[in-house]
């Protein structure tokens, strides 16, 4: 099922777009602010253990200092998006972004709340983060990924990731920020573009 979307661009509020699908409320996708600490806290609190492990490589809830650091992404040269249920005080349903590494690449990570997984929100957000990195001259995005994180690896495969290092249960990968995502095969086409600033975006189910 394909969702309808609305274009929206309000640089003053950091809004990069709105997103909707027929089985849930509309989402407003915007850049993170320092008012999002509690929202990020709630997002991560709501993750099942396995998702938390895939995101943080341990089962503990992230410390407040870490959450605060996520909200300072732009101050430190990075970029982070937080889609929230549209309307005042709407809950955050995902976060995606990167921090700058000493070599100039970005270190990226993303999380989609359990109730929103499988609607290609992850793919939209990764596309938006890659586009933001490319626009800012960040050549590559790197990440540590658990080897059993099949959904994340499916997302990355589409971007032609390279493996920088590999251990038994995890790997260090990189994707080129300027490299376009691979298209789906004919007959399995998703005709909707990625979520990038100022363009339409939408969610489609992946299963
Ligand atoms: C990984 C994560 C961000 C994906 O978000 P999502 O919105 O559910 O992902 P999407 O709906 O965009 O689907 C991603 C891909 O996984 C595939 N997929 C869906 N369900 C799958 C499954 N059970 N097994 C394997 N692949 C699956 C989809 O087909 C899609 O691939 P495609 O684009 O080639 O079709 C989300 O599952 C998550 O937050 N996980 C916990 C945190 C985490 O692992 N973060 C990544 C570490 S940085």
145 CA → ligand 1 middle, Å: 12
pLDDT tens, 123-160?
A: 999 999 999 999 999 999 999 999 999 999 999 999 99
Q: What is the pLDDT of residue 204?
A: 55
Tokens describing residue 50: 């396995």
Q: Of all atoms in ligand 1, which is nearest to the CA of residue 184?
A: 34
Domains of the chain: 11-176 (3.40.630.30)
Q: Which of 155, 203, 204 best tests ligand 1's pocket when mutated (most atoms within 8 Å of CB)? A: 155
Q: Of all atoms in ligand 1, which is nearest to the CA of residue 116?
A: 7
User: In the chain, pLDDT over 70 holds for what percent of residues?
Assistant: 79
84 CA → ligand 1 middle, Å: 19
Instruction: Using pLDDT thresholds of 50, 70 and 90, give the confidence band for residue 188.
Output: very low
Q: Is the pLDDT of residue 56 over 70?
A: yes
Please state, in angstroms and rounded to a whole number, the distance separating the CA atoms of residues 85 and 83. 7
pLDDT tens, 72-83?
A: 999 999 999 999
Q: How far apart are the first and last CA of the chain?
A: 11
Instruction: Please give the distance of CA 17 from its chain centroid, rounded to a whole number.
Output: 14
46-69: average pLDDT: 96
- With a CB cutoff of 8 Å and minimum separation 6, the contacts of 111 are 43, 44, 47, 51, 55, 94, 95, 96
Q: Is the pLDDT of residue 197 over 80?
A: no
| Protein residues whose CB sits closer than 6 Å to any atom of ligand 1 | 51, 54-55, 109-112, 117-123, 143, 145, 149-152, 154-155, 158, 206-207
Instruction: Using pLDDT thresholds of 50, 70 and 90, give the confidence band for residue 88.
Output: confident
**Closest C-alpha to ligand 1, atom 10:** 120
Cα dist. 4→19, 150, 170, 173 in Å?
A: 8, 28, 37, 33
Q: Is the pLDDT of residue 12 over 80?
A: no
**Phi, psi for residue 16 in degrees, rounded to 5:** -110, -10
């Amino acid at each position: 099922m394909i969702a309808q979307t609305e274009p929206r661009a309000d640089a003053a509020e950091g809004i990069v777009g709105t997103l909707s699908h027929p089985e849930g409320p509309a989402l407003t996708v915007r850049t993170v602010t320092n008012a999002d600490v509690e929202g990020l806290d709630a997002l991560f609190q709501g993750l099942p253990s396995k998702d938390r492990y895939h995101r943080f490589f341990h089962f503990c809830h992230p410390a407040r200092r870490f959450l605060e650091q996520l909200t300072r992404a732009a101050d430190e040269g990075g970029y982070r998006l937080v889609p929230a249920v549209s309307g005042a005080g709407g809950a955050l349903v995902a976060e995606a972004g990167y921090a700058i590494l000493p070599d100039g690449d970005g270190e990226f990570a993303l999380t989609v709340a359990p109730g929103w997984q499988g609607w290609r929100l992850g793919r939209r957000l990764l596309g938006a983060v890659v586009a933001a990195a490319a626009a800012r001259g960040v050549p590559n995005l790197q990440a540590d990924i658990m080897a059993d994180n099949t959904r994340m690896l499916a997302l990355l495969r589409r971007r032609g990731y390279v493996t920088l290092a590999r251990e038994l249960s995890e790997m260090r990968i990189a994707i080129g920020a300027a490299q376009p995502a691979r298209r789906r095969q004919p007959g399995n086409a998703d005709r909707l573009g990625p979520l990038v600033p100022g363009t339409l975006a939408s969610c489609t189910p992946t299963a």
